[in-house]
Structure 1
């Protein structure tokens, strides 16, 4: 047993408590297979993709709820074509009993399809509360955004957390995934210094092929230098293998200081591999529990 791993095991296990997962509306069959490995009540975010319609998103939310988990449907502000489309979605979620939690994001379109320029505009409508939403997730970008300047990102997170509080809504920040714990924790510390005490869910890439991880990283502006890749545990010159986030999680645990970083949780991006991620999480949690048990029992006499 690695002594560093053993020392960080209790903190890793603490971070893994109440971790959340992500799925698309097309992953319902994977959820059926993976459900026995996912702790009851787990928050499962349901993405708002342009090639998935309202019916698919509602079916996914109902499946998440039916299996004893907490559905967190995404709402992409710039993809909404009209106020009536937002009302239709929220009313359908309320009718299904899947209305308590949502995640709001600006979305990919450079030009809004309708009246909402960004997620802040949507939050300020008051429609979320009107249709039963009580908890709202918003985005955070520890390594910046390829299309949005840093000052704009900081203004956005401050304005959104203020708007949620003023609207009587609870919330958390879900960060973009990364491969290096240092910039993530530095960013969280800055968030706290700016007076934002909202819980932060650190985005973690689920186990995936290195080529796929690199593709997503390039798309979202995530740093992937040779030194970062080495710290994470893969090589950017060899894309044939797979990689899991074990080194990243242990690095987070080693550097996490609740006094400076506040409440931290984890959010796993599954990249279409909900089954693989839930299996990896189950195995990793078991390994960490074993390491903690060994550390507590001490050396054999």
Structure 2
């Protein structure tokens, strides 16, 4: 969710199981008050807030500590997502999320589980070699600091790419739980817009495999086919380890929560 989604969270709260982790984004057009208010709302409604911390957007350590202090006051620092962020050049002392982790500031404010990013279908601006070195570096730093961690991925459309990536993660000795990002039900045009923005595979073959048509941009699509296919591939693969899902609520918190409820009830 974003800082603008507090009302939507209240609307969807009865559909979301208590204790569910809900990420709170760090958008450049939202301020400290919006981010903290969103994390507070998540906590007060009985869920677990996971605030994003965008390393390259932080202008100073003081700004980071102000954010963490405010989050700590509302009980929202145990779980955080350390991510590099979008700026081409860092706005302050943190070049990337690894620098943020190595700073030691997160645990100073009570962080005990750090989510880190994974990119099963690659990143439009970062080479695969750099992504793998970053993942391995964060794994080593978090293990050294005795922190729990989760690899939380960018949303994906292609189960072939996802399972290949999971195998590669485990082959590098990274044994953290993995949560594969998948969009909740949303308009096809909106999904493709996010796919282009984040460099996720969106060619005709992949989106057809995912379950929607490029000729019907006014339609909607859900992750049923993707989730069923991924589950079928992983159920007999103990080497995959702890793998679950993380939902991107592009179509709204309520629509995503209803989809999850209905999907689980049909199992």
Matches within 5 A, 1:176-191: 176-191=154-169
Matched, 1:156 2:124: no
* Structure 1 runs of 4+ with >2 Å offset: none
SS where residue 174 of structure 1 aligns? Answer: strand
* 1:110 alignment counterpart: 88
C-alpha deviation, 1:272, in angstroms: 5.9
Paired with 2:64 and 2:215, the residues of 1 have a C-alpha distance of 44
Please list every run of 5 or more consecutive structure 2 residues that lacks an aligned counterpart in the other structure.
Answer: none
SS where residue 176 of structure 1 aligns? Answer: strand
* 1:66 alignment counterpart: 44
1:77 and 1:116 in contact (8 A); partners too: yes
Cα deviation, 1:32-79, whole Å, max 9, x if unaligned, reads 010000000000000000011111111111110111000000000001
Alignment coverage as a number of residue pairs:
266
Matched, 1:262 2:241: yes
Matches within 5 A, 1:86-101: 86-101=64-79
2:187 and 2:251 in contact (8 A); partners too: no
Matches within 5 A, 1:107-256: 107-256=85-234
Please list every run of 5 or more consecutive structure 1 residues that lacks an aligned counterpart in the other structure.
Answer: 1-22, 289-301
Query: Cα RMSD over matched residues?
Result: 0.9
C-alpha deviation, 1:271, in angstroms: 2.0
- Higher relative CO (Cα under 8 Å, sequence separation at least 6) belongs to 1
SS where residue 125 of structure 2 aligns? Answer: coil
C-alpha deviation, 1:233, in angstroms: 1.1
Matched, 1:280 2:259: yes
Larger Rg: 1
C-alpha deviation, 1:258, in angstroms: 3.9
C-alpha deviation, 1:238, in angstroms: 2.1
2:185 and 2:251 in contact (8 A); partners too: no
Paired with 1:177 and 1:221, the residues of 2 have a C-alpha distance of 10
TM-score normalised by structure 1 residue count: 0.87
* 1:15 alignment counterpart: none
Paired with 2:83 and 2:4, the residues of 1 have a C-alpha distance of 20
2:80 and 2:113 in contact (8 A); partners too: yes
1:27 and 1:272 in contact (8 A); partners too: no
